[in-house]
Amino acid sequence: MSPINFDINPEISIIVCTYNRAHYLNKGIDSVLNQTFTNWELVIVDDGSSDQTFAVVNPYLEKYNNIRYLKHKNKKQCYAKNAGIQASFGKYLTFLDSDDAYKPNHLESRLQYMKAHPEIDLIEGWFFSEDNILVADYYQSDKLINLKKCVLGPTFFGKRKVFFELQGFKHMIYGEDTDLWARAEKIFKTEKLKEPETYIYTRAETSVSKNFTNDSTQNLSSSM
pLDDT given for residue 40 in this prediction: 98
* Dihedral of alpha carbons 148, 114, 83, 184, sign: negative
Q: Answer whether residue 142 is part of any domain.
A: no
Q: Answer whether residue 102 is part of any domain.
A: yes
Smallest CA-to-CA distance from 80 within 67, 93, 71, 89 is with: 71
Smallest CA-to-CA distance from 199 within 129, 99, 147, 131 is with: 129
Q: Answer whether residue 221 is part of any domain.
A: no
Q: Answer whether residue 169 is part of any domain.
A: yes
Q: Answer whether residue 216 is part of any domain.
A: no
Long-range contacts of 207-211 (CB under 8 A, 24+ apart): 207/97, 207/99, 208/77, 208/173, 208/174, 209/135, 209/136, 209/147, 209/174
Domain CATH for 187: 3.90.550.10
Q: What is the pLDDT of residues 81-117, one digit of tens each?
A: 999 999 999 999 999 999 999 999 999 999 999 999 9
pTM of the predicted structure, to 2 decimals: 0.84
Q: Give CA 50 to chain center in angstroms.
A: 21
Q: Answer whether residue 117 is part of any domain.
A: yes
H-type alpha helices, the chain: 22-33, 53-63, 76-87, 106-116, 160-165, 176-187, 208-222
pLDDT given for residue 15 in this prediction: 99
Q: What's the domain range around 109?
A: 12-130+151-203
pLDDT given for residue 208 in this prediction: 44
Q: What is the pLDDT of residues 125-147, one digit of tens each?
A: 877 766 666 667 666 667 776 56
List the 101-102 sheet strands across, edge first. 101-102, 199-200, 127-128
pLDDT given for residue 207 in this prediction: 46
**Domains in the chain, number:** 1
Q: Answer whether residue 213 is part of any domain.
A: no
pLDDT given for residue 146 in this prediction: 58
Count of C-beta atoms within a 10 Å radius of residue 28: 24
Smallest CA-to-CA distance from 107 within 221, 11, 9, 24 is with: 11
Cβ atoms of 210 and 203 within 8 Å: the answer is yes
pLDDT given for residue 140 in this prediction: 65
Q: Answer whether residue 104 is part of any domain.
A: yes
* Dihedral of alpha carbons 44, 169, 5, 186, sign: positive
The mean of the pLDDT values for the chain is 86
Q: Which residues of the chain have pLDDT under 50?
A: 4-5, 206-224
pLDDT given for residue 178 in this prediction: 92
